[in-house]
Every structure is written in C-alpha cells, then in structure tokens.
Structure 1
Amino acid sequence: MSGILSTVDQRTNLVGENRLELLLFKLNTNQIFAINVFKVKEILKVPPLAKLPGSHANIVGVATLRGTPVPIIDLRAAVGMRPMDRDSETNLIITEYNRSVQGFLVGQVRNIVNTTWTDIQPPPITVGRATYLTAISHIEEEGVKKIIEIIDVEKVLSEIIHYDVTISKELLDEELVAHMQGRKVLIVDDSRTARSQVRETLKQVGLEIIECNDGKQAIDLLKGWCDEGKTVTDEILMMFTDAEMPEMDGYTLTHEIRTDPRMKDLFIALNTSLSGNFNEAMVKKVGCNRFISKFQPDLLIDVVQERMKQIVDV
C-alpha cells in the first residue's frame, strides 16, 4: 500500500495547475469512490482498534499510529450505507483535513488517476447520495466508462465533529463591524457544508453572502459584472475561495482575476483544508491576499476586518 503514495511529494506540483490526482477505492460495493491524493497521509491495513465509549456511531475505534491516537471513521456508514463488513480487502486511508488527522475505513484501494479539474463535474441532483458527494468524474476501463464519486469529506466530518461558528467577542472591532453592515462577500466552494460554515460566520457581523459552487461559476459572475460596466470591488467587499473545486480550482481562479485589469484589485482569501505550509507558498505564487486553514471562525472575521481597514478610516 505504501507504494501507491511513494511519490506523493511530487504530486504537489499538480496543485496550482488546475490538475489533481484522485485515490480510487471501494466501499464493498461496485461503485468507485475517490478523494484527493493531496489530503492522504498514508494507506495501511487495519491495525487493532481501541473502542471509544460515547463516541459518534460512525467512529469504529481509535488506532495508535507511531504513538499518536487517530480516530477511525467507517466511511461506508458515514455516507448513509450499512456499516462496513471487514475482510481481507479492508484498508485504512489516513487523511488530514481541517487541521486534524483521521482514518477512514474503506474496502479495496484501487489506484491513483491523474486528471484535471475541468474533468471534474458537480454531482447531478438526481443522484441518491449526492448530499455526500462533492463532485463526479469518469474513467474508462476495458472500453467501459465508469463513474467516480468524489466524497465530500468536509460534510462527513461536520456530522461527526461539531464545528462551532461562534465568534470571540473580544476580537470584534465595533467601528469596523458598523461598516460591514449590508456589504457583500463572495464565497466560492464546492462543498455545501463549507459554504454554510463560512456563511453562518459572516452573517453574524451583518455581511450579505453571494455563493458560487466552483471557480468557473465565480469567474463567469465576476466577468459578467465587468462586461456590464460594474466595478467588482463596488459589488463585493472581498472573496473567500476554496483551493479544490470542479472545473476550475481556487489557484486558477485567483490567477484569472489577477491577470484581468478590470478586477485585479479584488481582495482574495484562500480558505482551504489543504496543508498550511504548502498553501502559504501558493498564496504568494498566485497572488492571494490571505490564507486560512479551515475551519476557523475567528480567522475569517480577522480577514474581513483586515479588508475593512483598507477601505474605511477608523
């Protein structure tokens, strides 16, 4: 299993080029599921698990990996199917999301596919498990096109881990907050759960929210305003964007904005569950103003206040 990820460091070069690699696996069904390789730390056979009394029903135990306890989530159960039957093909995928490490109990781990975000599409609304999918793609095997279902891990985690959107009152600058009332902020994220978390945080300071599901939708909206003769910075105070999204990722979206003279001054914050050190470098490369590792309500507000200080005299 370790061989699958032996060149994971090289794969970081794909990020920022509107490309990604997907780790394909099964959940004891015929369907093929996937998550982004960049969030995977390792793949291993299931070690002994310690029970965790009082934990969420989808947490099947805790594994001790190199002295560190890691909660293990039954991914099959977490996306609405009956719990996983463990057999010789059962594996653990250890991931890092939102500054936390967790393991997902899965079935057969297949392989890694290299693709582009333009080949990743939002799930159709008629798909039964669409609420647990962030996107779909396709692969061709022996002349047959097969669907890849990309799981919305942030939604899975939000149903197990409580994410508090409460803002620390001592953080707020009341003069700045007064200027925020009715101003609009654009949120760009393919995860409905992630958009909701940011929306509910920003609404507490009187901001109005515009939402886009991916970078392509966002750039079309912004260019549409420009084509109508509108000034983007008059329409919105700033933009929060995820890094990984179907059709156009957040890095490419930022690059498109920075190279268009009509909108190049838009304040952009990258709000992502990807690793911090790497994204700090990418922020500088593509020209984001700030980087935030999900999900941190106080940091979201801190970024908005930073932006407000640039345009109001307080």
Structure 2
Amino acid sequence: MSELMSSVDQRTKLVGENRLELLMFKMGTRHTFALNVFKIKEVITIPFMNQIPGSHPNLKGVTNYRGASIPVIDLRAAIKMRAKEGEYEAVNVIITEYNRSVQGFLIGEVIRIINTSWSDIQPPPSSAGKNNYLTAITQIDINGAIELVEIIDVEKVLSEIVEYDTSISEEVLDKEVAVHLKGKKVLIVDDSSTARWQIRETLSQLGLEIIEQNDGLKALNLLRGWADEGKIVTDEILMMFTDAEMPEMDGYRLTSEVRQDPRMSDLFIALNTSLSGSFNDAMVEKVGCNRFISKFQPDLLVDVVQQRMRELLDSES
C-alpha cells in the first residue's frame, strides 16, 4: 500500500492544470467510490482503535497516527449504505486531511489511482436529490469496461459528525465597515452543498446576498454572461469565494480565466478550500487570487469580506 501512495507528493503539480488524481476503492458493493489523492495522506491497514463511549455511531474509534490521536469513521455507514451481517468487512483506512484536521475512513478494497481531468468530472444528476453524499461522478475505463465512479462529499460526512459553529466573533466584526455590506452580493462557487451552506450562513449575518454556483464553469459562464450584457461585474458582486476542486473547472482555472478577461480581471477572488499548505500559497500567487483561507473559519470569511469592503471605501474617499 505504501508503494501505491508513495508518489502522492509529486502529483500535486496536477492541481492548477484542471487535472486531478483519484484513489478508487470499494465498500462491499458493486459501486466504485473515489477520493481526491491530493487530500489523502496515506492508506493503511486497520489499526488498533479505542472506542469512545457516547460518540457518534459512525465514529468507530480513535487511533494513534504518527503521534497524534485521530478519529476513524465508518465511511460506508456515514453515507447511509447499510451492509447485511457478514456481507462487508472493511480492510483499510484512508488517512485524509480536510479543513485543517486529520481523520481516517474505513474502506474495503483499494483498486488503483487514476489520472483524469476536471472537465470529465460531472456533478451528480439532479434526480439524486439534495441528500446524497456525492460531490461528483465520472466514468472510467476499467479493464475494458466503462464504470461509474462516485466521488464522496467528505465535507458533508464530517459535518454530520462535527457540529460547525457559524457564529462571528464580536472582536472580528467591524461595525463601521459592516454597515456598508448590507445588500451587497457575493458569489460562492463550491461543489459541496455543505460548504456553500457554511459560507451562506456566516455571511448572511452581515446582510449580504449570496449567489451560488456548484462548479467553476457555471460560475465563469455567469460572469461572462454579465459582461456580455454590458454589465460591470464588480458592480454585480462584491467578490467571489471559490473552492479549489470542482467538477468541470477547478478554482485555479476559474481564477486564471477571470484574470485573463479584461472585463472582469479586477474581481476580488478568495480561494476557500479544504486543501492546505504552502502549495496553495504558491498557486494563489500563480493564478492571481487575492486571498487564501482554509475551510471552515467564519471569522476569516468575515475578515476577507470586510477587507474587500475597506478597499472599496478607501478608493471612493
């Protein structure tokens, strides 16, 4: 398994090229699931776990991982796929990092890593309903057969175990600036409905109106549509928050496309992603984002919005 994951660090260059790599795995059914390799630290066999009395039923226990205690979550149970007694037994744990936290997910057989393009990744069909646990789907040729691969919305899984607090700290709120935010519009671009909810619930407290898109291409088409109609994009919205990883077009490519269009090149863009580290800082500089913040930090969301508003007020004075 270590050989399978040994080259993960070298694969990060795919981010920003509208490409990604997926680790595909099974969980005791015909379904094939996947997670983005960039968010995976390691795949290990099931370790010893300590049970925590009174914990969430999907939390199978806590284990020691490289000197730190991390939770291990039953991924199949978390996405509401129930197994009959004796039908499925997890054999591996995917160690992941999301939103500045490390956690493990129980899974079954690991298949392989595939290299693909975000343009080949599609949102789940609308018929799947709002309560599904997928951010996207894609089709992969496996041994000559086309197979549907389902990409799991880990942020939704985690939100049902860890309660997110969307309240804003009193010391962060600048009331003199906040009064100018009422009625302003902010564009949120994220494939996770949970992530969009988190931002919406936070920023709506400031009186901001929220426009949502679930992939980068839709967001770009919206912005271009306004520009084609002769509208000034920065008059339509105060700023844009975008995730890094999305179907059709990732946030890096979206930002790059915006910067290359003189009709919208001065739009304030904040990259808001569960990915973290110096790599993101380098990508922000490369594509031209104004700010980078890792999910989910309500006070930082507010700080970014207030920063943008201050810039506008300063330019008008």
Shift of 1:129: 9.0
- Secondary structure (helix, strand or coil) at the match of 1:126 reads helix
Residues 166-175 or 125-134, more deviating = 125-134
1:35 is matched by which residue type in structure 2? Answer: L
Q: Distance in 1 between matches of 2:243 and 2:122?
A: 16
- 1:106 aligns to what? 107
- 1:207 aligns to what? 208
Deviations 1:74-116 (A, max 9, x none): 0000000226969776100000000000000000011000000
Q: Distance in 1 between matches of 2:159 and 2:207?
A: 24
Residues 136-145 or 200-209, more deviating = 136-145
- Secondary structure (helix, strand or coil) at the match of 2:137 reads strand
- Secondary structure (helix, strand or coil) at the match of 1:131 reads coil
Instruction: Answer yes or no: is 1:116 the counterpart of 2:117.
Output: yes
The 8 Å contact of residues 79 and 129 in structure 1, kept in 2 or not, is answered as no
- Secondary structure (helix, strand or coil) at the match of 2:198 reads helix
CA RMSD of aligned residues (A): 1.6
Residues 123-132 or 145-154, more deviating = 123-132
Instruction: Answer yes or no: is 1:144 the counterpart of 2:152.
Output: no
The 8 Å contact of residues 92 and 104 in structure 1, kept in 2 or not, is answered as yes
Shift of 1:142: 3.5
**Overall identity of the aligned pairs, in %:** 66
2:296 is matched by which residue type in structure 1? Answer: F
- 1:302 aligns to what? 303
- 1:193 aligns to what? 194
Q: How many matched pairs? A: 314
1:228 is matched by which residue type in structure 2? Answer: E
Q: Distance in 2 between matches of 1:283 and 1:142?
A: 38
- Secondary structure (helix, strand or coil) at the match of 1:304 reads helix
1:78 is matched by which residue type in structure 2? Answer: A
TM-score, length of structure 1 as denominator length: 0.97
1:70 is matched by which residue type in structure 2? Answer: I
Shift of 1:278: 1.3
Shift of 1:67: 2.2
The 8 Å contact of residues 123 and 130 in structure 1, kept in 2 or not, is answered as no
Residues 125-134 or 13-22, more deviating = 125-134
- 2:38 aligns to what? 38
- Secondary structure (helix, strand or coil) at the match of 2:28 reads coil
- 2:75 aligns to what? 75
Residues 138-147 or 211-220, more deviating = 138-147
The 8 Å contact of residues 28 and 88 in structure 2, kept in 1 or not, is answered as no
Instruction: Answer yes or no: is 1:272 the counterpart of 2:273.
Output: yes
- 2:26 aligns to what? 26
Report 1:79-90 matches (<5 A): 79-82=79-82, 90=91
The 1:128/1:171 distance shift into structure 2, 3 A limit, reads closer
Residues 236-245 or 275-284, more deviating = 275-284
Q: Distance in 2 between matches of 1:5 and 1:34?
A: 14
- 1:15 aligns to what? 15
The 8 Å contact of residues 23 and 112 in structure 2, kept in 1 or not, is answered as yes
Shift of 1:141: 2.4
Shift of 1:297: 0.1
The 8 Å contact of residues 90 and 106 in structure 2, kept in 1 or not, is answered as no
- Secondary structure (helix, strand or coil) at the match of 1:179 reads coil
Shift of 1:17: 0.2
The 1:78/1:263 distance shift into structure 2, 3 A limit, reads same
Instruction: Answer yes or no: is 1:312 the counterpart of 2:308.
Output: no
- Secondary structure (helix, strand or coil) at the match of 1:291 reads strand
Shift of 1:119: 0.3
TM-score, length of structure 2 as denominator length: 0.96
Q: Which runs of 5+ in 1 are unaligned?
A: none
- 1:2 aligns to what? 2
Q: Distance in 2 between matches of 1:194 and 1:86?
A: 33
Q: Distance in 1 between matches of 2:131 and 2:194?
A: 13
Shift of 1:66: 2.5
Instruction: Answer yes or no: is 1:55 the counterpart of 2:55.
Output: yes
- 1:65 aligns to what? 65
Q: Distance in 2 between matches of 1:239 and 1:9?
A: 29
1:95 is matched by which residue type in structure 2? Answer: T
Q: Distance in 2 between matches of 1:254 and 1:129?
A: 27
The 8 Å contact of residues 28 and 89 in structure 2, kept in 1 or not, is answered as no
The 1:229/1:71 distance shift into structure 2, 3 A limit, reads same
